[in-house]
């Protein structure tokens, strides 16, 4: 691995065990850090809680197919990580559908593993510097570094807290419902008592972390509806 160059984090979504093992063996070196999902719902859960540099996504998956997974990555998770679709579907209309769902590249099986590697590297070069900082009032969030800044103070989030915060800042100044947050974080699981308790726990953890490092919990409850991000000057205007 090149000195001081961190490994690329790849998510491989493939239900064919033999192909997945070949990919892991070929790419399993210091240059890459790989996670694996055998179905779409597992992939959506991983993407809601982890950050990746490139997603390699098969189309013919059990349950939720790759087209729908790709669409939900873009629309539900608001995730802009580059996606390579790999499939035996070679018709032009399939390729067109893949790109319309939000894919960045389309690779037809069978293919040389070296070609996949070259495409992964090319996508990463094009996208790695292109993660814009998000801003909500005085709050700034960098999706690339997961750093939150408020009035000169900074903190770095991780895991589910970072995904929650990114969802809320993208929705600002609007709120997100309990169901929308649960769907984005847990891959479309039906919202119920278990998801509600888990969501409240994650919101509490996020608020506690922000309050400790930035002096403000920032996440406000919309009673009976959901949660929203509140910049300090929003509160100043409502009390003036």
Q: Per-residue pLDDT tens for 42-80?
A: 999 898 888 888 999 999 999 899 999 999 999 888 888
Say how many CA atoms lie within 13 Å of 94 toward its Cβ.
Answer: 15
At residue 146, what are phi and psi to the nearest 5 degrees?
65, 30
pLDDT tens string 159-215: 889 889 999 998 999 999 988 888 777 765 555 656 668 899 999 999 999 999 999
pLDDT, mean over the chain? 86
In the prediction, which pLDDT does 66 show?
Answer: 95
pLDDT tens string 126-169: 876 556 789 999 999 988 788 999 999 999 998 889 889 999 99
Based on its alpha-carbon atoms, the radius of gyration of the chain, rounded to whole angstroms, reads 19
At residue 169, what are phi and psi to the nearest 5 degrees?
-75, -30
Question: Please, what's the b/e burial string for 24-43 (b: 16 or more CB within 10 A of its CB; e: otherwise)?
Answer: eeebeeeebebbbbbbbbbb
In terms of Cβ atoms closer than 10 Å to its own Cβ (0-12, 13-18, 19+), residue 16 is middle
134-239 carries CATH number 1.10.10.10: yes
Assess contact for 165 and 214: CB atoms under 8 A.
no
Domain boundaries, the chain: 8-127, 134-239
Assess contact for 155 and 139: CB atoms under 8 A.
no
- Indicate the fold that domain 8-127 takes in CATH: Rossmann fold (3.40.50)
């Amino acid at each position: 691995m090149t000195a001081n160059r961190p490994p690329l984090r790849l998510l491989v979504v493939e239900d064919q065990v033999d192909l997945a093992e070949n990919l892991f063996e070929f790419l399993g070196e210091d240059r890459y850090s790989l996670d694996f999902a055998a179905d779409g719902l597992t992939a959506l859960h991983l993407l809601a809680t982890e950050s990746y540099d490139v997603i390699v996504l098969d189309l013919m998956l059990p349950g939720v197919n790759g087209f729908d997974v790709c669409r939900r990555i873009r629309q539900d998770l608001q995730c802009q990580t580059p996606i390579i679709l790999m499939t035996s579907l070679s018709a032009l209309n399939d390729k067109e559908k893949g790109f319309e769902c939000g894919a960045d590249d389309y690779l037809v099986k069978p293919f040389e593993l070296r070609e996949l590697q070259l495409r992964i590297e090319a996508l990463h070069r094009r996208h790695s510097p292109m993660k814009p900082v998000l801003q909500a009032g005085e709050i700034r969030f960098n999706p690339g570094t997961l750093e939150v800044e408020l009035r000169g103070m900074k903190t770095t989030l991780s895991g589910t807290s970072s995904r929650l915060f990114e969802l809320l800042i993208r929705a600002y100044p609007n709120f997100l419902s309990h169901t929308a947050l649960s769907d984005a974080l847990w891959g479309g699981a039906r919202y119920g008592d278990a998801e509600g308790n888990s969501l409240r726990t994650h919101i509490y953890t996020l608020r506690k972390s922000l309050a400790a490092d930035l002096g403000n919990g920032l996440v406000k409850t919309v009673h009976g509806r959901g949660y929203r991000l509140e910049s300090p000057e929003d509160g100043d205007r409502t009390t003036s």
